[in-house]
Structure 1
Amino acid sequence: MFASVASAQLSPKGADKDKHGCKGSAGYTFSVIKNDCVRIFEEKIQLKEVDNKKSYISNAAVILSEDGKKAEIFLPSSDGSLVLDKLASKKAVVYKKGQYTLTKNKNAYTLKLANKVVFKS
């Protein structure tokens, strides 16, 4: 009886795919903007955590839509991603959703949460 319970709890190799078919053990997660599995650590736009009191530094990744109207953010503390919408701005490129604001000035990105900088490139 114990052997069948133990074997029923073991997952077969490669069975760690999410509902989109992305294999987490290989570093893949689903991107809403790309509508595909991506490795966020391979994305071009990487942001480093600011004001870090931990013994390690976390990164966030950003994927922009082809038309530039949306920005998808992958935060280390959350499952999945957050898609921000582009706002009209003359000073900088700004994306926003809820309390999150992503700003691009020249080639630098800044992510704010509730008006506090949390990640920068």
Structure 2
Amino acid sequence: MKTPMSLLLLFVIFTSSCQSSKVSSSNAGADSLAAVGADKDKHGCLLSAGYTWSQLRSECIRPFEQGIALHTLNTSSAYQTSAYILVDSSKNEAEVFIPEEQNSIMLNQRNATTYTNGRFTLVQDSNCWTLSLNKTALYQEKK
């Protein structure tokens, strides 16, 4: 009779000690974790939701929703990446969002079909946009 009672007592001690260690470890880590959705940039754009600051529009946007998609021309990479552009012909500017750059890139209109900043060039040919870096085509719109 002593054995079942001893086992019951041991079980109670064991389970209560496990629970207390879980509680203390989860509480200790809670202070060091950031709240989900708290990853805003300096403009207040919610990065985890895909928002980024647009210099052209002066607001947080999702380039993949509002921009024109350009697809990589370098197919040797293991994954596909895209660039996105916003064109505002009334302001004579274009804005480029590429994964290799942390911030968007502003381009000024050179003529009716070309925008550039000296380094990057965006050209529209046959209703299709191509983005080049130092005369090397990187991204192109698929039609």
Q: Which amino acid aligns with 2:130?
A: T
Identity %: 33
Cα distance per residue 1:68-114 (max 9 Å; x no partner)? 500000001111200000013xxx51111131100012310011111
Taking the aligned partners of 1:44 and 1:30, their CA distance within structure 2 comes to 13
4+ long deviations beyond 6 Å:
2-5
Structure with greater proportional helix content: 2
- Partner residue in 2 for 1:110: 130
What is the alpha-carbon root mean square deviation over aligned residues? 2.0
Equivalent residue in structure 2 for 1:29, among 52, 68, 82: 52
Matched, 1:50 2:70: no
Q: TM-score normalized by structure 2?
A: 0.73
Q: Distance in 1 between matches of 2:74 and 2:94?
A: 23
For 2:9, the equivalent position in structure 1 comes to none
In the superposition, the TM-score normalised over structure 1's length comes to 0.85
Structure with higher Rg: it is 2
1:105 counterpart letter in structure 2 = D
More strand by share: 1
- The answer to which structure, 1 or 2, has the higher relative contact order (CA under 8 A, 6+ apart) is 1
Distance in 2 separating the partners of 1:49 and 1:71: 19
Name 1:77's counterpart in structure 2: 100
**In the alignment, residue 121 of structure 2 is paired with which amino acid?**
T
